[in-house]
Amino acid sequence: MNTTHLKQIMTKIIGFNHLRGWHPLPQDIAKSIVIEAAELLEHFQWDGGKNPVDKSKLDGKNITEIKFEVADVFWYLTIFCHETGIDIVDALEQKYKHNEEKYPEKMFAGKNNDEFYYAQKKKYRQKQTTIIDK
């Protein structure tokens, strides 16, 4: 999907809500994002024993229901950003830069495992705490 198509979908979502007079408060939209994300997570409840290297991580799942839950999360996120004036593209770009600093590629070369990831995360948080304490 290209960015033009994505923007068109987002405009349609905003228009859909506007035509129905739906302008919920940000805190209500944030709750809805979490609720819809939980509904997405339900599709993977109790999957802990499955091999994560399986051919398809969605084998045996109801793909249509999963797509709808993903769409619900995106829908509410689009509305949240619209109602709060957040430019989602700008937010994503800023977060990408932040993650580049937090998890530089050179540090992960050949060390792509949970233990290393959590060590990096802990180190970064300690650095941030030190900055805040100053």
Give the residue numbers spanning the domain of 116: 103-134
The reply to whether 16 and 65 lie within a common domain is yes
Residue 57: CB atoms within 10 A of its CB come to 12
Q: Which residue has the tokens 């509904």?
A: 39
Is the pLDDT confidence value at 29 over 80? Answer: yes
| Highest mean predicted confidence (pLDDT) among 6-10, 69-73, 128-132 | 69-73
Helix boundaries (H) for the chain? 3-19, 26-42, 63-84, 88-102, 105-108, 114-133
What's the whole-model pTM score?
0.77
Residue at 112 is within a domain: yes
The whole-number pLDDT of residue 5 equals 92
The reply to whether 65 and 117 lie within a common domain is no
What sign results for the dihedral spanned by CA atoms 81, 87, 88, 91?
A: negative
Is the pLDDT confidence value at 26 over 80? Answer: yes
The reply to whether 83 and 107 lie within a common domain is no
Report pLDDT digits (tens) over 84-134. Answer: 999 999 999 999 999 888 888 877 776 666 777 788 788 888 887 776 665
The total of structural domains in the chain comes to 2
Residue at 94 is within a domain: no
What is the rounded distance in angstroms from the CA atom of residue 59 to the CA atom of residue 51? 12
What is the rounded distance in angstroms from the CA atom of residue 18 to the CA atom of residue 20? 5
The whole-number pLDDT of residue 60 equals 78
Residue at 97 is within a domain: no
- Calculate what percentage of the chain has a pLDDT beyond 70: 87
Residue at 44 is within a domain: yes
> What CATH code is carried by the domain that includes residue 28?
1.10.287.1080
